[in-house]
Structure 1
Amino acid sequence: MILKLPTTPSFRLDNKTALIAGASSGIGLACAVALADAGAEVVLASRNIEALQKASDAIQLKGNSVEAVQLDIADTDAIELFFKNQKPFDILVNSAGMGRHSPSLETSTEDFDEVMDVNLRGAYFLTQAVARGLIKAKKPGSLINISSQMGHVGGVDRAVYSASKHAVEGFTKAMAIEWGGHQIRVNTICPTFIRTALTQSTFDNPERKKWIEEKIKLGRAGEVEDIMGAVVFLASEASGMITGSALMIDGGWTAD
């Protein structure tokens, strides 16, 4: 009698539609490329429609299915309007985010509100909107919020940013509990410092660069490619029993 072996779950995303917010550059763009390469139809969303169109054109040249839409997730009315005529998305990757770094004694209310409007309020209501569509259609789904290692630790000049990402970790766990019965999984990806155009100023600061290199046990900063395999994993059936979790991509930063 031949032993029946387990079947390896598929990492493919064929016939799935993914919405990627913050997809015009950096981590968001990398996630869009990874999901498209895995077979998903990707919808790229961002405030910067010009950069978004360039990203869309490049993905399309690879032979992948892609659409670009202008969307500011800090505008909840815009989110509601966008989802009025949308079919349900099987996958959400919310990579839209921002930072206004300063010593906590110098934080302005304007900087605080701007960060929270995108990183927390926008992320919350975008995740809610995608889940509503899935529940109405009685479909399963995978919702992924790009959080940060700073959602688990603190950092110099990053009190507001850390607060926003700790909050994302909290609502992700609560939503995972509420929507598990609908077979909707909700998780976060928590990168360390990733080299992008937006983080270059941090790496240009010798003191900050030294701090980063000392904290990352693997001895190097992250690259956007380090996120790509993780997002495909969480979006696919290969992670079918994972929800309410935070996938750390931090080179061991939080292992201490």
Structure 2
Amino acid sequence: MVAGERFDLTGKTAVVTGGSKGLGEAISLTLAEAGANVLAVARDPVALGELAARHPRITSWTADILDPRFAEALAEHDVDILVNNAGTNTPLLMTEVTADVLDQMLNLNVRSAYLVAQAAVRSMLRRGGGGAIVNITSQMGHVGSPRRTVYCMTKHALEGLTKAMAVELAPQGIRVNSVAPTFIETPMTAPMLADPDFRQFVERMIPMGKTGQPQDVADAVLYLASSAAAMVTGTSLLVDGGWTAQ
């Protein structure tokens, strides 16, 4: 098999949550360009429609992944690849975190990610096993940082889930990995990086001296979803410019 063929996803169905903007947009387009039929999931039908118009193999799926009906519907689809990308962050000092903020982040970043992964696994097992799951975590799933106690907690949880799923599902041929980005230029990080002092802090913490781009993450996802990573499971691919290497 030549190098390019190892990244060929022709005939595979990939589901990308949070699929309409930022990382999800880049991941959806990259998987589609590699040949996958992509179901991009998000709550914004307009953004999804604009994304679907950019590639014939992208289909929009307007849904709230917090709704139990979404997981039920997902389990009935034929899923070969799941990219668990939906998530949020509300940076606050620990003393300022309200119960509502805590619950919101736990529900989206952890609870829904678990239930979506569970539904995808049920789909894969129903068809005899095999498949790839990529959880989008964060470098903050490996380290700590001020004003990110809840975010770090949720991403550490996803890293643990990745490892446990990988061990449990390896006998069924299902690979589970995570991609852990540093600060990437997306709509979610734009307000944070608009602060010159914060951007300077981020770029100082990254040995490569720059923030990442969505395509950097999408390329890592493509690798883990493809046969090029056939012997890779239970690991976290850090796309962090060296932040956690220090």
TM-score range, shorter chain: over 0.9
1:91 positional shift: 0.4
Based on CA coordinates, which of the two structures has the bigger radius of gyration? 1
Give the TM-score taking structure 2 as reference length. Answer: 0.96
Report what 2:23 is aligned to. 27
The change in CA–CA distance for 1:216 and 1:131 in structure 2 (over 3 A counts) is same
Report what 1:59 is aligned to. 55
Q: Equivalences for 1:24-103 in 2 at 5 Å?
A: 24-60=20-56, 65-75=57-67, 77-83=68-74, 85-86=76-77, 88-103=78-93
Q: Percent identity?
A: 38
Inter-partner Cα distance in structure 2 for 1:66 and 1:51: 13
1:225 positional shift: 1.4
Gaps of 5+ in 2: none
1:84 positional shift: 5.4
Gaps of 5+ in 1: 1-5
Give the TM-score taking structure 1 as reference length. Answer: 0.92
SS in 1 for 2:212: coil
Inter-partner Cα distance in structure 2 for 1:231 and 1:144: 7
Q: Say whether residues 1:124 and 2:124 are aligned partners.
A: no
Inter-partner Cα distance in structure 1 for 2:71 and 2:79: 14
1:58 positional shift: 1.5
2:133, 2:175 within 8 Å by CA — same for their partners in 1?
Answer: yes
Inter-partner Cα distance in structure 1 for 2:141 and 2:203: 19
Which of residues 11, 14, 19 in structure 2 aligns to 1:15? Answer: 11
Inter-partner Cα distance in structure 1 for 2:52 and 2:6: 26
1:7 positional shift: 6.4
